[in-house]
Amino acid sequence: MTTLLIKRCISVISLHTLKTDCLGCVLSSASFKLKVPPNYDHVQYPEKRRPRIINKVPWLDPSNRPPKHTKMLDMMRGPELVHHRLQYGDYGVQVIKGGRLTHELVERIRMILVRQMDERNMFAVWRFNSLWQSVTRKGKGVRMGGGKGSINHYCMPVRAERLILEVGGECEAPEVLPMLREIVRILPFQARVISHESVQYRKEKEAWEEENNINPFTFKHCADNNILGCQKHLNRYDFKWYNKYQ
């Protein structure tokens, strides 16, 4: 029994060098391996910690007719150059491939945050203001022609590396990750959960892979040198981003 207790104590306590006191007695110094608590001095809480409700229809001037937009596929192509960095919190949901956010999807995300987020020490903010792009649709069985159909709903086009929302506060990764992973699961396009550490790690990994790559036949090399006549199958975006973004 005594041996078992000693083994359990050794597994928790780390013994260091032996010391002697003024009487010549040998003393063993021990210390617990405790984790240093994180510092939350940088946290600034907004006025409302819950994510605000996004209107289904954007505010429009009643004297003007609502515009009917085209598909605008260029708004979902390529990387996001503005809203791609964390500004308010320590965690966020980032888009990997472009897509569209609808009101139904935004409400599902908001309900997950409202039900699972602890407002006493956490907050969440959107990284977009409203759903502005109109999507038109004709009824079932309607013949082609007759002009553009009526507006069915509004959406928000997003590009790759665009941040949808941020979560911050006095919280750690185990509290936030399950909630954000649930949000990523319901999105109709590819997305990921990011933090300041994961963004820095991804940059360092990409730089290391590019520096230590021993294969000369990269996408950039093949496209620029027309290997096997591949240029006839490529478009201008392949020469702009070299297959990094769709």
**CA dist., res. 89 & res. 146, Å (int):** 49
What is the distance between the alpha carbons of residues 46 and 165, in angstroms, rounded to a whole number? 14
User: pLDDT of 26-47, one tens digit each?
Assistant: 445 555 667 777 888 888 999 9
Helix axes 173-186, 103-116, angle to 10 degrees: 160
Kindly report, residue by residue over 200-210, the tens digit of the pLDDT: 999 999 999 99
Going along the chain from its start, the domains and CATH numbers come out as 46-60+68-136+149-197+238-246 (3.90.1170.10)
Q: Report the chain (246 residues): mean pLDDT per 10 consecutive residues.
A: 44 42 49 75 90 93 92 93 93 95 96 94 94 93 90 96 95 93 96 95 94 92 93 93 86
d(CA 165, CA 93) in angstroms, rounded, equals 6
Q: Give the 3-state secondary structure percentages of the chain, helix then strand then coil, rounded to 5.
A: 30, 25, 45
